[in-house]
Amino acid sequence: MSAADGPLPVVTTERPDGQGAFLIVCEHASNHFPEAFGALGLPEAARHAHIAWDPGALALARRLSEALDATLVSAGVSRLVYDLNRPPHAPGAMAAQSEVYEIPGNEGIGPDERLRRTETIYLPFHRALHDTIARRLAQGRRTVMVTVHSFTPVYFGQPRAVELGIIHDADPAFAKAVLAEAQARTALLCRMNEPYSAADGVTHTLRLQATPYGLAHVMLEIRNDLLADDSAVAGVATELAPVLSAALSAMTQTQTEKAAS
Amino acid sequence: MSAADGPLPVVTTERPDGQGAFLIVCEHASNHFPEAFGALGLPEAARHAHIAWDPGALALARRLSEALDATLVSAGVSRLVYDLNRPPHAPGAMAAQSEVYEIPGNEGIGPDERLRRTETIYLPFHRALHDTIARRLAQGRRTVMVTVHSFTPVYFGQPRAVELGIIHDADPAFAKAVLAEAQARTALLCRMNEPYSAADGVTHTLRLQATPYGLAHVMLEIRNDLLADDSAVAGVATELAPVLSAALSAMTQTQTEKAAS
């Protein structure tokens, strides 16, 4: 769970032969700063803060992957080096400022450095994810994309009440089903498109990888104080895995009824 | 212009250092049937018909690339082996029937063969195109995608009057500008979203590669009897290159005025 774990590959695929319909994605899994890019002038505290990664997200994604027999694609580089949920021309892809932190190593970087990070981080990650999706589609396998994120409970000094944010790109069908099941089956304070939404530019992965293929999808945002240790993560996973399964069943039934009527 | 030209790579990038804003794409450039897949049981006449490729499209795309100093990405495999403008799960990606022709080699193919063609044709082509786009965006280069196609003048026995079809995916802004300039500057019979449109599933490349990045885009469909030989192609290119340039200027001006008001 820290940069001390040593170098990680840009992209890791776990449970590649998982038979479940879900394809789980974790773009902000790691706060690793590869040697090729350095620590961007950040003190250690900043490199461990939520600006560098989504604490707890990978642990949760792994437990969901296990519970749902789902392939998991995760990234091994801090979002501050390249935020994989942003396109290469977005300022936030290599942000010079994140919440109250300045990122010295991202200030004033030019086209060459942006190209280098795009080629070494963005392209390999999204290529691996796209390959996985295209192969599943070629084989006629159902694919529902679930991206797993966590958010900070206090942002610019303001506490956030929402515990589970359920966010969608163009097609809200699966997100609506997830919200209904989460409200029915858990005690979590759930909100649609909070603490932010597609309009804030946070659905790049879904827009690039799920929407063009018409894949059902959802982005889960869990408040990171609910993922503080392994036992907390296990508890959230135990709540969310059946939510996802039930939501898929409910959406499938609705679609079947619509098709028949 | 024929299968006799010998094996071609799956994807070719011409004018990679072109400085123009346009990125030209030609998915149906070739009627080449690579040895690995054979002739799909088709007689020679079918392998030269419009079902196998878009006759004249590559020649036109090359002239537009030259006139506009635009990078051109084209495919080297017949659309009957894999139609690169279709996703891997679409029946039309490896169609068993096309217009009045049956494609014996595509009948009853299973998941393994669909996966093989996806991995050897679809993925390398779209990877190369995506790499090109992401690199341009990282460098802050404006990118307007123009896909170049041709269509048969007679379809299921019915003649088609339209000469230039102008088709768009989610964002119609550039297509509208192209239509206005084509009507003002040429004698071509132009129509928006004819002879087919995004609703018919013909905008996969735009949806996969342009729309997720918010790139201005258009799919040009030229009736192939207007591209019968080199001199005809040159004439159409001479008409369309200034149409595209003027449309880009007009769209840019409209956007600038909107932003200022």
**Domains of chain B, each with CATH number or no CATH:** 3-260 (3.40.630.40)
B115/A126 touch (CB, cutoff 8 Å), yes or no = no
Res B171: pLDDT: 97
CA–CA distance, A75 with A30 (Å, rounded to integer): 7
CB A177 within 8 A of CB A248: yes
Residue A99 pLDDT = 85
Q: What tokens appear for A168 in the block?
A: 């969608």
Q: Tell me whether residues A212 and B213 touch, CB distance under 8 A.
A: no
Enclosing H/E stretch for B145:
strand B144-151
The answer to whether the bond into A9 is cis (omega within 30° of 0) is: no
The Cα of A204 is separated from the nearest Cα of chain B by a number of Å equal to 7
Percent of chain B with pLDDT over 90: 92
Calpha distance A21→A65 (Å, rounded): 11
Q: How confident is the model at residue A1 (pLDDT cuts 50, 70, 90)?
A: very low
Residue B6 confidence (pLDDT) above 80: no
User: Which ipTM score applies to this complex?
Assistant: 0.94
- Stretch B108-137: mean pLDDT: 97
Residue ranges of B 198-217 with Cβ closer than 8 A to chain A = 204, 207-208, 211-213
> Residue for token digits 């014996």?
B104
pLDDT band of residue A4 (cuts 50, 70, 90) is very low
Q: What is the mean pLDDT of chain B?
A: 95
Lowest mean pLDDT among A18-22, A197-201, B164-168, B242-246: A197-201
A37-50 in b/e form (b: 16+ CB < 10 A) is bebbebeeebbbbb
Please report, for residues A137, A232, B142, the alpha-carbon distance to residue B210 in angstroms, rounded to integers and kept in the order given: 21, 41, 12
Kind and range of the H or E run holding B255: helix B230-260
* A60-93 pLDDT tens trace: 999 999 999 999 999 999 999 999 999 999 999 9
Predicted pLDDT of residue A9: 84
Other CB atoms within 10 Å distance of the CB of residue A167: 25
Q: Which of residues 149-188 of B touch A (CB under 8 A)?
A: none
Give the confidence band of B1 by pLDDT, cuts at 50, 70, 90. Answer: very low
Write out the E strands in chain A: 11-14, 22-26, 71-75, 97-98, 101-102, 144-151, 154-155, 158-159, 164-167, 190-192, 217-223
Smallest CA–CA distance, residue B204 to chain A, in Å, is 7
How many other CB atoms are there within 10 angstroms of residue A99's CB atom? 13
Residue B176 neighbours by CB distance under 10 Å = 18
CB contact under 8 Å between A134 and B118, yes or no, is yes
Contact B140 A211 (CB under 8 A): no
Selecting from B88, B131, B204 the residue whose C-beta is nearest the C-beta of A123 gives: B131
Decide if pLDDT at A2 tops 50: no
Structural contact between residues A25 and A73, judged by C-beta atoms closer than 8 angstroms: yes
- How many cross-chain Cβ pairs, A to B, lie less than 8 Å apart? 82
CA-closest candidate to residue A36, choices A77, A74, A2:
A77
Residue A204: closest C-alpha in chain B: B212
Partners of B89 on chain A (C-beta within 8 Å) are 137-138, 140, 213
Q: Name the residue type at position A159.
A: P
Q: What is the pLDDT of residue A100?
A: 86
Split at pLDDT 50, 70, 90, the class of B52 is very high
Q: How high does pLDDT run on average in chain A?
A: 95
Whether A231 has a pLDDT exceeding 80, the answer reads yes
List of chain A residues whose C-beta atoms are within 8 Å of the C-beta of residue B140: 89, 111, 114
Q: Give residue B239's pLDDT.
A: 98
Model pLDDT, residue A261: 81
